[in-house]
Amino acid sequence: MAFGGFSNPDSRRAAALIAAPFVYVILLLAVPLSAVVLFSFWTQDFMSVDTTFTLNNYRRIATEPIFGVLLQRSVFVAAMVTLVTVLLAYPVAYFVSFHVEPGKKSLWLFLITIPFWTSYLIRVFLWRVILGFNGVINTGLQQIGLIDEPLTFIIYNVNAVIITLSHAFAPFAILPIFVALEKIDRSLLEAGLDLGESRFTTFLRVTLPLSVPGVVAAVLIVFIPTIGDYVTPEQVGGAGGRLVANMIQTQFFALNNAPLGSALALTSMAMVSVIALGFVFLNRRWLRGRR
């Protein structure tokens, strides 16, 4: 790093301090990611890797139906999870921000975040216990006589994956929306009411638009990691609920095809980035259009 433009000694010290974590991220993230990019243009040749440049891996991903199905399903599941999570989370964030006394807000946030810090694997497994054929829901409904046969549409399919992931990512959605709601100047709401708006139209025309940055952050924070989730589809997804991460793992381990696995990982990452950036862009235009 060049220090030519750093006139102030304090700036120079700040740059020197930040060099350690910066170099660490370069070595452990940027360099390995470049290696993955390189690898994705190579091919697996039985036990060795053929290092001649080729687009074969990407051609296979584009043409073989299995990859297209998995990628589409991953995007669909991530989108559904995001929608469900954000819709369910918004009223909770609103409640904590507007209806809880200031002294008790951090207690509420603490209660909301605790489940998120407990073992992810075990939480996902517990959803299998809840949704399974002889799980809590099915035995419960059978005992009160509502159903005779276990419900099959809630386990080992895409629905189960969506339910489980929506639970796992709930706090991620609540926190950014809460932060955006907290920033809203409360006198704007009074102004809305004074000018003859009802409580509901004030919410629609003042609170909701002002909380959009929080909603956008929540969407991104939920959407991006869910698309790469491996544990949930493996545990509750069954054969029809597999997502792209399961295929990446299979390519790297069972099929010993690291180049194709690399290409698949990069393809899914590129799709996530394009969708996320597109969402942010559309949102900006929409907000500008309203002014």
Partner 1 sequence: MKGLGLRAYAIAYLIFLYAPIVLLPMFAFNDARIIAFPLSGFTTSWFEMLWTNVALGQAVRNSLFIAVVTSVFATLLGICAARAGAMADFPGKRGVIGFIMLPLVLPEIIVAVSLLVILVQIFGLNLNNWSIIAAHTLICTPFSIAILNGAFQNLDPSFEEAAMDLGFSRFEAFRLITLPLVMPGIISSLLISFTISLDEFIIAFFLSGANPTMPVFIWSMLRFQDALPQVMALGTILVTLSVVLLVTAEYFRRRGIARAGRKDTGGFL
Residues 205-244 that bind partner 1 (CB under 8 A): 220-221, 224-225, 227-231, 235
End-to-end CA distance of the chain: 42
Q: How far is the CB of 210 from partner 1 (least distance, A)?
A: 18
The one segment of 151-159, 187-195, 201-209, 247-255 that binds partner 1 by CB under 8 A? 247-255
Closer residue to partner 1 (CB): 210 or 224? 224
Rounded to whole angstroms, what are the CA distances from 138 to 77, 152, 154, 164, 168?
24, 9, 10, 16, 22
Residue closest to 73 by CA, chosen among 165, 161, 164, 163: 161
Contacts of 235 (CB under 8 A, 6+ apart): 124, 125, 127, 128, 164
Of 236, 248, 257, 267, the one binding partner 1 (CB under 8 A) is: 248
Q: Compute how many residues bind partner 1; rule: CB under 8 A.
A: 89
Decide: is 55 part of the binding site for partner 1 (CB under 8 A).
Answer: no
Residue 9, token pair as written in the block? 């000694």
Closer residue to partner 1 (CB): 202 or 262? 262
Residue 139, token pair as written in the block? 């035995």
Decide: is 265 part of the binding site for partner 1 (CB under 8 A).
Answer: yes
Q: How far is the CB of 78 from partner 1 (least distance, A)?
A: 10
Residues in the chain: 291
- Whole-angstrom distance, CA of residue 122 vs CA of residue 129: 10
Residue closest to 76 by CA, chosen among 284, 285, 280, 275: 275
Closer residue to partner 1 (CB): 206 or 260? 260
The one segment of 145-153, 187-195, 207-215, 267-275 that binds partner 1 by CB under 8 A? 267-275
Decide: is 278 part of the binding site for partner 1 (CB under 8 A).
Answer: no
Q: Which of residues 24-43 bind partner 1 (CB under 8 A)?
A: 24-25, 28-29, 31-33, 35-36, 39
Q: How far is the CB of 129 from partner 1 (least distance, A)?
A: 5
Closer residue to partner 1 (CB): 120 or 153? 120
Report which secondary-structure segment, H or E, holds 50: strand 48-50
DSSP 8-state class, residue 43: E
- Whole-angstrom distance, CA of residue 87 vs CA of residue 208: 13
Q: Which of residues 4-23 bind partner 1 (CB under 8 A)?
A: 5-6, 8, 10-15, 17-18, 20-22
Of 65, 101, 122, 144, the one binding partner 1 (CB under 8 A) is: 122
The one segment of 125-133, 146-154, 188-196, 200-208 that binds partner 1 by CB under 8 A? 125-133
Sequence-distant contacts of 114-121: CB under 8 A, at least 24 apart: 115/171, 116/168, 116/170, 116/171, 116/172, 120/168, 120/231, 121/231
Q: Which of residues 155-214 bind partner 1 (CB under 8 A)?
A: 167, 170-171, 175, 178-179, 182
Q: How far is the CB of 140 from partner 1 (least distance, A)?
A: 7
Residue 28, token pair as written in the block? 């452990």
Q: Which of residues 61-120 bind partner 1 (CB under 8 A)?
A: 88, 91-92, 94-96, 98-99, 105-106, 108-115, 117-120
